[in-house]
């Protein structure tokens, strides 16, 4: 039987544009999904494709083989960084570089040091490195407390109060300055603040935050002050509810964005494989939580690829379970779970 695009379209496709595996088996069609994909999409089938792309499935086609890509700033920008500035963890797991390596490559820098010449700790890709090492950070905290005490003492001597902004004349003077300068005594420009911070170094941002704490201390007598009453009043005026929370709308927007970026698929659009994989993942976490002491008696840390530690492994793989029609409950069962070094677990993928 000659397999043509028309034959695939009329006989082998499911509603979700995936392949009907049962018909392939029934008619004993000895042809790979990759060959069928190439026929259906009018592509030349190459038995040994180049190492920069791999065939995923009939519905997804060819995808980039990130394991063999040269990691450059352009590559990170195009494939690894998500719209919110964080990293795509699915791609990072396939790379030899961890998030810290990617940060250094992306910013074209070497690992920075603290003012005391110790290595700085890495926070994450979005935030980069801490501005001070742990030791200097503790000293800095002590210095801030001393400044706060000195400030309170000065205010007591000068104004008779710990916080000078508790005095009406000080507040009126500040409001008058804003009114003269911006035409609004309550002026605040968050957009300008955000743009300014983008162009500052970590150390400059740290100083800004420190000054903000001192200002809060001056105005309200508390370095971490938040005007909760003003927030409630604004919500009441804007939404008619002082406890208004836009969480549902935000969640819906987040799902929509994730769907557009290919990071989330609604269940009604999932293939049988994706539904099965999701069920196994949920059941696995439930099983692990219930039988953690049996599965992980040594209490190993669970880690991502590239980090020191262990991963929760399915002895019979999820993919084999799907192909052999094994129940998700069995694949996610206690007897099919084990702790495995991430390198050993990754070897099973090959």
> Which sign, positive or negative, has the C-alpha torsion 322, 327, 332, 336?
negative
Instruction: Identify which of 286, 276, 264 has the alpha carbon closest to the alpha carbon of residue 318.
Output: 276
Give the E-state strand segments of 88-155 in sequence order. 122-124, 128-129
User: Of the ranges 157-171, 197-211, 270-284, which one carries the lowest mean pLDDT score?
Assistant: 197-211
- Residue 283: name the closest of 346, 254, 347, 326 by CA: 326
Q: Distance (Å, rounded) from C-alpha 203 to C-alpha 127?
A: 12
Rounded average pLDDT over 216-236: 72
pLDDT for residue 118: 86
CB of 203 closer than 8 Å to CB of 130: no
Spatial separation of the C-alpha atoms in residues 334 and 330, rounded to whole Å:
8
Confidence check: pLDDT of 283 > 90: yes
Per-residue pLDDT of 2-42, as tens digits, reads 778 888 787 788 777 777 777 777 777 777 877 887 888 77
Pairing relationship of beta strands 310-314 and 337-341 according to DSSP bridges: antiparallel
* pLDDT confidence tier of residue 255, bands split at 50, 70 and 90: confident
46 pLDDT band, cuts 50/70/90, is low
User: What pLDDT digit, counting tens, does each position of 107-145 carry?
Assistant: 899 988 888 888 888 888 888 888 778 777 776 666 666
Render 264-319 in DSSP notation, one character per residue. ---GGG--HHHHHHHHHHHHHHHHHHHSHHHH-TT-PPB--TTSSSEEEEESS-HH
Q: What angle is formed at CA 348 by the lines to CA 347 and CA 349, rounded to 5 degrees?
A: 90
**Nearest by Cα to 349 from 302, 300, 314, 308:** 314
Res. 176: pLDDT tops 80: yes
């Amino acid at each position: 039987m000659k397999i043509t695009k028309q034959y695939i379209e009329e006989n082998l496709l499911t509603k979700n544009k995936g392949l009907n595996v049962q018909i392939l088996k029934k008619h004993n069609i000895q042809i790979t999904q990759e060959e069928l994909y190439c026929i259906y999409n009018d592509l030349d089938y190459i038995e040994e494709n180049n190492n920069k792309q791999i065939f995923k499935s009939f519905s997804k086609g060819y995808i980039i083989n990130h394991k063999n890509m040269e990691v450059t700033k352009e590559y990170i920008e195009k494939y690894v960084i998500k719209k919110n500035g964080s990293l795509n963890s699915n791609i990072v797991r396939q790379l030899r570089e961890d998030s810290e390596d990617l940060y250094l490559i992306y910013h074209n820098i070497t690992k920075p040091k603290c003012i005391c010449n110790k290595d700085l700790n890495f926070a994450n890709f979005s935030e980069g490195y801490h501005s001070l090492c742990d030791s200097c950070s503790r000293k800095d905290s002590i210095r801030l407390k001393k400044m706060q005490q000195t400030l309170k003492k000065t205010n007591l001597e000068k104004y008779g109060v710990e916080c000078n902004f508790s005095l009406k004349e000080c507040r009126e003077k500040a409001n008058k300055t804003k009114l003269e300068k911006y035409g609004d005594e309550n002026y605040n420009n968050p957009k300008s603040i955000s743009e300014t911070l983008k162009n500052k170094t970590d150390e400059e941002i740290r100083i800004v935050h420190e000054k903000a704490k001192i200002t809060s201390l001056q105005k309200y007598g508390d370095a971490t002050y938040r005007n909760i009453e003003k927030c409630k009043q604004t919500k009441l005026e804007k939404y008619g509810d002082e406890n208004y929370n836009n969480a549902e709308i935000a969640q819906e927007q987040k799902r929509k964005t994730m769907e557009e970026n290919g990071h989330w698929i609604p269940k009604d659009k999932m293939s049988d494989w994706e539904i099965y994989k999701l069920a196994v993942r949920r059941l696995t976490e439930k099983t692990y939580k219930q039988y953690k002491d049996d599965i992980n008696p040594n209490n190993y840390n669970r880690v991502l690829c590239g980090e020191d530690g262990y991963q929760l492994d399915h002895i019979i793989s999820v993919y084999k379970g799907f192909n052999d029609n094994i129940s998700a409950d069995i694949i996610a069962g206690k007897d099919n779970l084990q702790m495995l070094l991430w390198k050993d677990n990754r070897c099973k993928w090959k």
